[in-house]
Amino acid sequence: MRITFPYMGSSPLVFKQLFAELGHEVVVPPPPSKHTLDLGTKYAPEFACIPFKILLGTYLEAIALGADTIVSTGGVGPCRAGYYGELHRRILHDLGYNNVRLLILEPPLRRPRDFLRVLSTLVEGPLNWLRLPGILHRVWTKLSALDRVEKAAHAIRPYEITKGETSRVYKECLKAIDAATAVAEIRAAESEALARLAKVPQDTTRQPLKVALIGEIYVVFEPFANHNVQIMLEEMGVYAERSIYLAEWTLGNAVVPGEKDIKGAARPYLSELVGGHGLNSIGETVIYAWRGFDGVIQLAPFACIPEIVAKSILPRVSRELNIPVLTLFLDEQTGEAGIRTRLEAFIDLLAARRKKREGQVAWAAI
Amino acid sequence: MGGYLGVDVGSVSTNLVVTDEEGEILASLYIRTQGQPIAAVQEGLAQLEKKVPAGLTIEGVGTTGSGRTLAGVVVGADLVKNEITCHAVAAARLVPDVQTVLEIGGQDSKIIIMRDGVVTDFAMNTVCAAGTGSFLDHQAQRLNVPIEEFGSYALRAKNPVRIAGRCTVFAESDMVHKQQMGHSLEDIIAGLCEALVRNYLNNVGKGKEILPPVVFQGGVAANVGIRAAFEKALGLPVYVPKHFGVMGAWGAALLAREKMRANPQPTRFRGFQAAHLEYKTSSFDCTGCSNQCEVISISMEGKVVASWGGRCGRWENLS
């Protein structure tokens, strides 16, 4: 099998090792680009959301590179994404790629049988089953290391003196972690990366505004889908925290039932599952308000029902907990200039609020 | 005497304002961008120079609008600021207790919610330009009514018709239909104004708490029909400032003034003579990585003075 998978943040480095260790040939898809989105938009239904289009484009690019098996994830609850695997399969079939298999990993806690069936296709032979715990240990170590290093980079960027320096160092660190495969190697690469990032020259006298990024997982996670908002904010000197990191998310959603605190925080405003990450968007906004963040940015694919439901509830959360919320809807028509204008205005708003709170002239020197 | 310059380069119009030391407007200008922002800014500078009192020296320059970065390079700006903040600052200067700013320009529209002089929430139209100035322009032309008189036609209406305002294409076919049915021009124009206001309030204004005082600015505020439709829909008086068309540029000038006063330094203004320099732009697709960024370079008198558009910072050079 020549396996490929969706591209999402730094996770391809992990999937690459996982499938290679299971003895498969791996076709790492190219990072999403305008070309990916053009391909996806061309063959997807017009009203499908942007994650669907980017994934479809990614699959087509990977097939062109020789992939014959696509491994993706399913979903539960009233969000269309649960059907997307099936829809992708049919579109690929209609395009004549009859020999391409699409394997969909369903959440193991909700649909254990489907999960095991697909897993046994991927883990061929008894020898592999014996090796599986070791493989998972290494892959998990890598996933957690990548999350920690990325978090460190995000924490440093608002303080960097030379714009772009953190990103440059981070890119090199990723290469080193990618090259490491054994647990000890991965840990060493992680320590090295954290040490190198700490050496990026910083101006620690800055007091950055704190903004949280919440919303639908794919557009929160994959910078291409959100026009790189997290780094854009950080380069404006804002501390931007993303609600979702893959290791934590996998742990809380696929391995053990988790996110109880998020659901609890959302309860005064929303107690029903509305599909996708709608409930999380409410709960996370509440938690970020408690944590004293200056503002929250909701990232949502255009026409995403769960996020539309969340958006209609967020004004109340915003008012009652006194935390400004900006919603950005994203699709293939979204222009970077429009996003930048809204982000800048939102940052001005937050800065003026802070100045006013501190008893200064709100608009001076913004 | 010292003064401050604000330049707002929008999709349809380019506006310039010169204020005195205190921030009061001395001269202003509203011209069409016509798809050529550099030429429009230069034309604006040339015209403005003649309107400015002799002996005035510009001590700070702010640019805003969708062409703010480009305009910033052309004039030599001390401050480049998004149009939402600029509109809010100008409205608050005029009406210090303003709580709602409605702004409708050529191709975008926004709502800004303010409390105690600070922006607390805002929204811009995302989906399409229905209900903005360009559409009104187009309809005025089609109905053969000068755009300046469009609003007064609406005020003369006896029984405004209901027009589907969600989408410009549907609005237009609905208007054609109403014309064929025999409704009067006045009733149709008034119906259109109401439809646009309804569309604005349901989309841009959705979920926003609109409280008085309400200030209505941007080019479309010239239209008394739209203003009346807002007053009717909101049940609130709507205040249109004297300089409604150049509020963004004024806000940019006011912020430039704040900035230069907080941190005195010589201005980067190239002078009104920038109107006569030769600016050229060029662009290319960077092939350095998969992002394939479109990089733009601006040259002044044959020398590259700025470039941007790349994500990685490789080409960024905003001197």
Please write the tens of the pLDDT for every residue from B135-178.
Answer: 888 888 888 898 888 899 999 999 999 887 767 777 788 888 88
* C-alpha span between B29 and B14 (Å, rounded): 8
Alpha helical stretches, state H, B61-167: 68-75, 83-94, 133-142, 147-155
- B168 or A214: which leads in pLDDT: A214
* Assembly ipTM: 0.85
Q: Do B263 and A31 touch (CB under 8 A)?
A: no
Q: Do A365 and B262 touch (CB under 8 A)?
A: yes
Q: Which residues of A touch B313 (CB under 8 A)?
A: 163-164, 167
Give the rounded percent of residues in chain A with a pLDDT score beyond 90.
63
Residue to substitute from A341, A346, A350, A355, interface B, most B β-carbons within 10 A? A341
Domain range A2-124, its CATH number among 3.30.420, 1.10.3470, 3.40.50, 3.40.190? 3.40.50
Q: Do B81 and A344 touch (CB under 8 A)?
A: yes
Please write the tens of the pLDDT for every residue from A86-131.
Answer: 889 999 999 999 899 998 887 777 777 878 888 888 887 777 788 8
Distance, in angstroms, between A33 CA and closest chain B CA?
6
Distance, in angstroms, between B189 CA and closest chain A CA?
31
Q: Band the pLDDT of B319: cuts 50, 70, 90.
A: very low
Residue B157 near chain A (CB below 8 Å):
no
Distance, in angstroms, between B81 CA and closest chain A CA?
8
Q: Does domain A208-365 have CATH number 3.90.550.10?
A: no
Distance, in angstroms, between A98 CA and closest chain B CA?
29
Contact B24, B80 (CB under 8 A): no
For B260, nearest residue in chain A (alpha carbons): A365
* Residue owning tokens 């915003």: A318
Of A7-16, A354-363, B156-165, the range with the lowest mean pLDDT is A354-363
* C-alpha span between B217 and B242 (Å, rounded): 9
Distance, in angstroms, between A324 CA and closest chain B CA?
7
* C-alpha span between B206 and A117 (Å, rounded): 47
Q: Do A363 and B89 touch (CB under 8 A)?
A: yes
- What is the helix, strand, coil percentage profile of chain A, to 5? 55, 10, 30
pLDDT above 80 (res A75): no
Residue (of A337, A82, A57) closest to B124 by Cα position: A337
Mean pLDDT throughout A131-147? 92
Question: Residue A173: which residues within 8 A CB-CB, separation 6 or more?
Answer: A149, A153, A189, A192, A193, A196, A197
Residue B42 tokens, joined: 């230069």
Residue (of B122, B105, B91, B13) closest to B250 by Cα position: B91
pLDDT of residue A334: 77
- Average model confidence (pLDDT) across chain B: 89
Q: Which residues of B touch A353 (CB under 8 A)?
A: 118, 120
Q: Which residues of A touch B116 (CB under 8 A)?
A: 356
Between CA B65 and CA B67, with CA B66 as vertex, the angle to 5 degrees is 90
Q: Do A353 and B118 touch (CB under 8 A)?
A: yes
* C-alpha span between A213 and A325 (Å, rounded): 10
Q: CATH topology of A2-124 equal to that of A208-365?
A: yes
Q: Do A349 and B120 touch (CB under 8 A)?
A: yes
Residue to substitute from B78, B290, B292, interface A, most A β-carbons within 10 A? B290
Residue (of B258, B245, B295, B256) closest to B76 by Cα position: B256
* C-alpha span between A240 and A238 (Å, rounded): 6
Alpha helical stretches, state H, A157-254: 165-179, 183-198, 217-221, 229-235, 246-250
For A357, nearest residue in chain B (alpha carbons): B118
pLDDT above 60 (res A364): no
Domain-by-domain residue ranges, chain A?
A: 2-124, 136-204, 208-365
- B156 or B296: which leads in pLDDT: B156
pLDDT above 90 (res A252): no
